[in-house]
C-alpha cells in the first residue's frame, strides 16, 4: 500500500493535509513473480506478447537491411570515383565474390561494408569469428583473412580457424605460412593457435591415403614448436607437445617425431600416459619393423614407472599393435603375448607359445626383446583389441586360433563389447579358415547376429552383406579350375547357388548397389546350366533395370563404383545369356522381382 497526500482548502480553516490510499499494481506483480519462483511455476508468455516480440524482430531486421543497403550504396559511390566505372551496389557485400577486385584500393570503411560489418562490430571478437566462419563455409578465404587482419587483436580466434581451414583443404604450406606471418599483421598467437594447427595436421587424411606431411613440412612444424619454447607470447605446455608429436608422426619420415620426443628433458616437458600413447600409436604405423620395435623397447622402462591404474587400454593396445602390425612373425607373436599379459583374456583361449607353419628364419629371436611384463590388475578387453588379436593370429597362419579368440569372448559374456567391425573380422577369418563351406558358414553367422537378442546393439549394414556374398564366392571358387575355366563339382556349385539365393531372400528389400555387387561376385563363376540359373537371369534383368538411366548420385555411390558394377554386370550377363523364350512371366516393381508360372 502507498500513502499519498492531498491538500484541501475549506472555508474558515487553514490548509489541511488528508490521507488517501491506492493499490500498486507493480507490487502485485512482484509478489506473483516471487511466488512463481518459489513454487517453480512456469509462466507461459501470452500469444499477444509473442506477436509483439515477432513484430519487433521483423522491424529490427528491416532496419538493419535498410542500413546495410544504404552503406552499400555509399560504398558504390566511393568506388565509382576511385575506379572511374559504374559499380552496382547489389553486387557488393559479404556473400558476393564480384567485389574482391575492389579490395586493393578500398578505404577502411568501404572494406567494412564489403565484409558486412560495422566499426562497432569489428571490435567484438565474437562477431568477427562468426563472420569469418561464415566466409570459410562459403570458401571465401580472401574475405575471411581480410576481416581477421582488420580486427587485429579481436581476430586472433578467427585466424586460428582460417589456419585450420587451410589444413582441412590440404593446403599445408599455406597454413604454415599464415601461422608464421600473422604476427606481422598484429594478429598474435594464443594458446589454442598451435594446438589447432597441429591437431588438424594429425587429423588430415589425403585422398590418395598418403602421409600428409613432406619432410620439409615436418621440419617446419618442428621448428614452429621449438621456436615457441625459446620465445613466445605464452609458455608451451604438454598439450602443445603432444599435438606436435602427433602431427610429426603423420610425416613420411617419422624420425622427426622421435627426435622431439627424446628432447623432452631439455625443454622441461614431463610426459603423461597420453604422450606415450601418441608415440606408440605412431610407432604402430611405422613402415620399418626394426626401427619401430627398437624405439618401443626403449619406451618400456619409462612406461613401467607409471602406477598401474594410470595404464589404460589405449596405451597398452598401442603397445600391442607396435608388434602385431609387423611383417616378421616372431614380433607378431610377442604382440599377442603382451596382450595376454595385460588384458583379461578368458581362460578358454590357448596361450601363445608356438606357431604353425613358421619358417626356420622366423622362429629365432632377432632382437633382444625384454621379457613380457605382467599387470596385476588386468584391463577388460575392448572390441578393437579383440580385432587386433584376431588379425594377428590370422597373419601368422592360424585362423582357427583367431576364431577361438572371438568365440571365447562371445561365450564369456563380452557380447556388449562386440561391434560391427568385429563381426566383419569374424566373417572374414571364418571364410579363410574353411573355404569349401565359407558361404554356408557365413550365412549361419549372419543369422546369429541378426536373430539373437544378445546382439541387438549391433547394426549390420550393406558391407556386412557384401562380406557374406564374398564368402559365397569363396565357396564357389573352391570348386573352380582356372585351367579348364569350369567347375570341378557341379553339384557343389549348384548347392552354392542355392545358398546364394537363400541369402538373397534373407536380405531386406529394396536392394542396394552394394548388395547387387556382392551377388554378382558370388555367381560370377557359376555355370549357365542348372535348375537354379533361371532365377539368376531374372535377377540380372532386375539389376539392369535398377541402374538403367541413373547416375551415381541417384544410386548413392561414387562414379568408379557404378562403372565397376556395370562392367561386372556385363561380364556376368555373358555367362547367363537370356533365352529367346521363357516359361515365366517376370513382373518388376522397383528393384523387386516376382516370377509367375504360365501355361
Burial class (CB in 10 A: 0-12, 13-18, 19+), 424: middle
Closest Cα partner for 393 from 401, 383, 385, 381?
401
**pLDDT computed for residue 499 by the predictor:** 87
Q: Please list, in sequence order, all residues whose beta carbon lies within 8 angstroms of the beta carbon of residue 409, skipping any fewer than 6 positions away.
A: 346, 381, 386, 417, 418
pLDDT average, residue stretch 274-284: 95
Q: Provide the pLDDT confidence category of residue 59 given band limits of 50, 70 and 90.
A: low
Is 222:260 a contact under the CB 8 Å cutoff?
yes
Question: Which set of grid coordinates corresponds to residue 84?
Answer: 572511374
Gap between the Cα atoms of 331 and 354, Å rounded:
13
The pLDDT tens digits of the residues spanning 191-218 come to: 899 999 999 999 988 876 666 788 999 9
Tell me: pLDDT of 584 over 60. Answer: no
At residue 204, φ and ψ (nearest 5 deg) are -70, 135
C-alpha 430/C-alpha 427 separation (Å) is 5
The whole-number pLDDT of residue 91 equals 74
Q: Is the pLDDT of residue 25 over 60?
A: no
**Highest mean pLDDT of the ranges 217-231, 342-356, 496-510:** 217-231
Pick the residue with more confidence: 94 or 39? 94
- DSSP per-residue string spanning 202-214: HH---TT---SB-
Query: Is 177 part of a structural domain of the chain?
Result: no
Helices (H), 84-155: 108-115, 125-137, 141-151
Per-residue pLDDT at 95: 80
Residue with cell 559499380: 87
d(CA 370, CA 144): 55
Q: Are strands 480-481 and 486-487 parallel, antiparallel or unpaired?
A: antiparallel
- What is the average pLDDT across 312-322? 93
Q: Give the residue numbers spanning the domain of 8.
A: 2-42
User: Following DSSP, what letter does each residue of 337-353 receive, concatenated?
Assistant: HHHHHHB---TTSPP--
Confidence of residue 349 (pLDDT cuts 50, 70, 90): low
- Helical H runs in 231-312? 238-248, 255-261, 273-284, 289-303
Q: Beta strand pairing status for 584-589 and 592-597? A: antiparallel
Average pLDDT over residues 404-431: 88
Q: Which residues is 593 bridged to in the sheet? A: 588
Of the two residues 126 and 482, the one the predictor is more confident about is: 126
Tell me the DSSP string of 221-235: HHHHHHHHHHS-SS-
Residue 20 pairs with which residues in a beta bridge? 4
Q: For residues 277 and 469, what is the distance between their CA atoms, to the nearest angstrom?
A: 38
Q: Which long-range CB contacts under 8 A does 214-223 form with residues at least 24 apart?
A: 214/251, 214/252, 215/251, 215/252, 215/253, 217/172, 217/173, 217/176, 217/251, 218/248, 218/251, 218/252, 218/253, 218/256, 219/256, 220/176, 221/176, 221/247, 221/248, 221/256, 222/248, 222/256, 222/259, 222/260
Half-sphere exposure of 293 (CA within 13 A, CB side): 21
Average pLDDT in the 140-150 region?
92
pLDDT at 7 over 80: no
Share of the chain above pLDDT 70, in %: 78
Q: What is the pLDDT of residue 581?
A: 52
The count of other CB atoms within 10 Å of the CB of residue 386 is: 26
So what's the pLDDT on residue 26? 61
pLDDT single digits (tens) 509-566: 889 999 999 999 998 877 655 556 788 888 899 999 999 988 888 888 899 999 999 9
Of residues 236 and 200, the one with the higher pLDDT is: 200
**Structural contact between residues 397 and 359, judged by C-beta atoms closer than 8 angstroms:** no
**Nearest-angstrom CA–CA distance, 329 and 358:** 8
Report if residue 20 sits inside a domain.
yes
Is 19 part of any domain? yes
* DSSP secondary structure of 420-453: HHHHHHHHHHHHHH-GGGHHHHHHHHHHHHHH-G
Q: Please name the helix (run of DSSP H) or strand (run of DSSP E) that holds residue 595, with its range, or none.
A: strand 592-597
Confidence check: pLDDT of 6 > 80: no
- pLDDT at residue number 143: 92
pLDDT recorded at residue 376: 81
Q: Indicate whether 29 belongs to any domain.
A: yes
Number of structural domains in the chain? 1
pLDDT reported for residue 14: 47
- Which residue, among 364, 338, 335, 356, has the nearest Cα to 398 in the 3D structure? 356
CB atoms within 10 A of CB 443: 18
The owner of cell 544504404 is 70
Is residue 199 in a domain?
no
Neighbours of 549 (CB within 10 A): 6
Contact 144, 100 (CB under 8 A): no
pLDDT at residue 409 in the model: 83
Mean pLDDT of 438-445: 93
Q: Which residues of 162-201 are buried (b: 16+ CB within 10 A; e: fewer)?
A: bbbbbbeeeebebbbebbeebeebebbbeeebbbbbbbbb
Span 146-164, pLDDT tens digits: 999 999 999 999 999 999 9
Amino acid at each position: 500500500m502507498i500513502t499519498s497526500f492531498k491538500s484541501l482548502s475549506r472555508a474558515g480553516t487553514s490548509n489541511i493535509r488528508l490521507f488517501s490510499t491506492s493499490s500498486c499494481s507493480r507490487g502485485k506483480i512482484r509478489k506473483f513473480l516471487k511466488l512463481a519462483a518459489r513454487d517453480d511455476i512456469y509462466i507461459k508468455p501470452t500469444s499477444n506478447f509473442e506477436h509483439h516480440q515477432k513484430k519487433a524482430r521483423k522491424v529490427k531486421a528491416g532496419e538493419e537491411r535498410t542500413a546495410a543497403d544504404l552503406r552499400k550504396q555509399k560504398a558504390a559511390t566511393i568506388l565509382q570515383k576511385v575506379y572511374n566505372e559504374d559499380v552496382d551496389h547489389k553486387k557488393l557485400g559479404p556473400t558476393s565474390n564480384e567485389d574482391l577486385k575492389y579490395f586493393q584500393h578500398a578505404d577502411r570503411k568501404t572494406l567494412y561494408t564489403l565484409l558486412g560489418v560495422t566499426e562497432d562490430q569489428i571490435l567484438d571478437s565474437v562477431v568477427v569469428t562468426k563472420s569469418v566462419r561464415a566466409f570459410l563455409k562459403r570458401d571465401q578465404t580472401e574475405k575471411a583473412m581480410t576481416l581477421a587482419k582488420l580486427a587485429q587483436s579481436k581476430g586472433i580466434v578467427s585466424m586460428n580457424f582460417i589456419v585450420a581451414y587451410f589444413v582441412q583443404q590440404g593446403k599445408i604450406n599455406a597454413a604454415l605460412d599464415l601461422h608464421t606471418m600473422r604476427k606481422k599483421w598484429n594478429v598474435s598467437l594464443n594458446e589454442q593457435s598451435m594446438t589447432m594447427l597441429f591437431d588438424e595436421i594429425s587429423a588430415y587424411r589425403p585422398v590418395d591415403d598418403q602421409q600428409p606431411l613432406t619432410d620439409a613440412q615436418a621440419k617446419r612444424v618442428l621448428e614452429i614448436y621449438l621456436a615457441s619454447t625459446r620465445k613466445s607470447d605464452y609458455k608451451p605446455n604438454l598439450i602443445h607437445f603432444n599435438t606436435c608429436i602427433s602431427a610429426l608422426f603423420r610425416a613420411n619420415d617419422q624420425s622427426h617425431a622421435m627426435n622431439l620426443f627424446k628432447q623432452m628433458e631439455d625443454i622441461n616437458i614431463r610426459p603423461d600416459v597420453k604422450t606415450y600413447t601418441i608415440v606408440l600409436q605412431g610407432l604402430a604405423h611405422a613402415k620399418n619393423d626394426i626401427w619401430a620395435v627398437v624405439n618401443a623397447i626403449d619406451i618400456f622402462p619409462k612406461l613401467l614407472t607409471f602406477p598401474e591404474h594410470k595404464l589404460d587400454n589405449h596405451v597398452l593396445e598401442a603397445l600391442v599393435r607396435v608388434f602385431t602390425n609387423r611383417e616378421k612373425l616372431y614380433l607378431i607373436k610377442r604382440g599377442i603375448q603382451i596382450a595376454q599379459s595385460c588384458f583379461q583374456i578368458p581362460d578358454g583361449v590357448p596361450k601363445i607359445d608356438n606357431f604353425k607353419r613358421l619358417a626356420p628364419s622366423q622362429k629365432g629371436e632377432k632382437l633382444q626383446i625384454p621379457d613380457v611384463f605382467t599387470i596385476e590388475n588386468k584391463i577388460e578387453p575392448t572390441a578393437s583389441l579383440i580385432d587386433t588379436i584376431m588379425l594377428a593370429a590370422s597373419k601368422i597362419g592360424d585362423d582357427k586360433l583367431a576364431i577361438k579368440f572371438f568365440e571365447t569372448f562371445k561365450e564369456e559374456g563380452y557380447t556388449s563389447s562386440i561391434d560391427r567391425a568385429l563381426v566383419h573380422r569374424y566373417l572374414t577369418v571364418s571364410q579363410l579358415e574353411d573355404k569349401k563351406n565359407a558361404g554356408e558358414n557365413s550365412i549361419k553367422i549372419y543369422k546369429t547376429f541378426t536373430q539373437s537378442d544378445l546382439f541387438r546393439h549391433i547394426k549390420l549394414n550393406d558391407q556386412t552383406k557384401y562380406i557374406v556374398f564374398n564368402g559365397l564366392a569363396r565357396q564357389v571358387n573352391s570348386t573352380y579350375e582356372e585351367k579348364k575355366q569350369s567347375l570341378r563339382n557341379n553339384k557343389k556349385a549348384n548347392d552354392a547357388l542355392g545358398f546364394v539365393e537363400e541369402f538373397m531372400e534373407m536380405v531386406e528389400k529394396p536392394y542396394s548397389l552394394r548388395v547387387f555387387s556382392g551377388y554378382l561376385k558370388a555367381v560370377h563363376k557359376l555355370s549357365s546350366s542348372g535348375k537354379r540359373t533361371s532365377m539368376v537371369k531374372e535377377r540380372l534383368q532386375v539389376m539392369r533395370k535398377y541402374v538403367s538411366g541413373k547416375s551415381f548420385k541417384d544410386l548413392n555411390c561414387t562414379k568408379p563404383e557404378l562403372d565397376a558394377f556395370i562392367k561386372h554386370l556385363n561380364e556376368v550377363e555373358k555367362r547367363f545369356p537370356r533365352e529367346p523364350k521363357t516359361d515365366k512371366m517376370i513382373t518388376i516393381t522397383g528393384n523387386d522381382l516376382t516370377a509367375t508360372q504360365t501355361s
